[in-house]
Copies of this chain bind each other. A is one copy, B any other.
């Protein structure tokens, strides 16, 4: 048994006017709860420090850059790192990253239990669009404000387990889980900011959208025999509702913990990494069963190529 008690630290809404310091204080409250619950690892959502700013159209680069962090930790987040180290809890959270040479990424980091950053991931699958879209009920400008991640989907050894990360829309792409599964990933962590309404189909409905979120994570877990922890930023941000539905999924694809609110809320499960072993050595023993000679299209072509 290799048990890690994992906390999924869902955040309620962050209004545009809320400061990073205020959000970090909320994250520390959740971290303290997690410590009391015996957690060894706590996962916070995507863009955990600010509102989901890609819903806002901005033309001035300086206005855009105010949402980005140029170093991590920094003054605003140092108290979170300090508290995590004090508790001996590893953490993962997302933020908008501006590099020293001016690149912009939607990033998440992972620390060890001593507060050292041991992994960084930059979101690969950016949803939405890059120019103002008059057809949509609201904007989703991730393709405008971020570049696609350039780090792939690494897997790190941490806490005697193999861990990887992805972010939000990445969770809908089976390629993401598989690339990590092919590195032996036992735990895949992700955060998301997912609107409760489809900007291109207002009739879709929240229940429908929560089902798709569940389906993406449960299938990714099952098909790679890995734990998946998906954590929302949720609730009403300046009139724009984000769905909740944070879950912890076991390596058989079953949801073992689920958030009940759209507010700051901690979900907890004692996750035995050895539960991955059966699936990885039987039905999803990749070395024995995969037939890569028939998968060529997956990497050889990006879009659809129709038969003649």
Contact = CB atoms under 8 A, between A and B. Distances in A.
A283 interface: yes
B182 A301 contact: yes
B223 A179 contact: no
A224 to B, nearest CB: 9
5 contacts: A148-B291, A175-B295, A215-B222, A286-B302, A295-B298
A212 interface: yes
Interface string A250-265: 0011100000000000
Nearest to A304: B184
A234 interface: no
- List the 8 closest A-B pairs by CB distance, nearest first: A287-B303, A219-B219, A174-B174, A182-B297, A299-B299, A184-B304, A286-B303, A152-B294
A127 B306 contact: no
A154 interface: yes
Contacts of A278: 200-201
Contacts of A155: 307
Contact of A125 (B211, B212, B253, B289): B289
Contact of A292 (B215, B216, B299): B299
A23 interface: no
Contacts of A302: 286-287, 290-292
A299 B296 CA distance: 6
A132 interface: no
A200 B169 CA distance: 35
Interface in A76-109: none
A152 B297 CA distance: 10
Interface string A265-301: 0000000000000101011111111111011111111
B287 A292 contact: no
A180 to B, nearest CB: 9
A173 interface: yes
A162 interface: yes
A172 interface: yes
B175 A298 contact: yes
A20 interface: no
Contacts of A287: 302-304
A246 interface: no
A59 interface: no
A208 interface: yes
A278 B9 CA distance: 33
Nearest to A252: B208
Contacts of A169: 283, 289
Given A183-B297, A292-B301, A298-B299, 9 more contacts: A125-B290, A127-B283, A127-B289, A154-B307, A182-B304, A183-B306, A215-B253, A287-B302, A288-B303
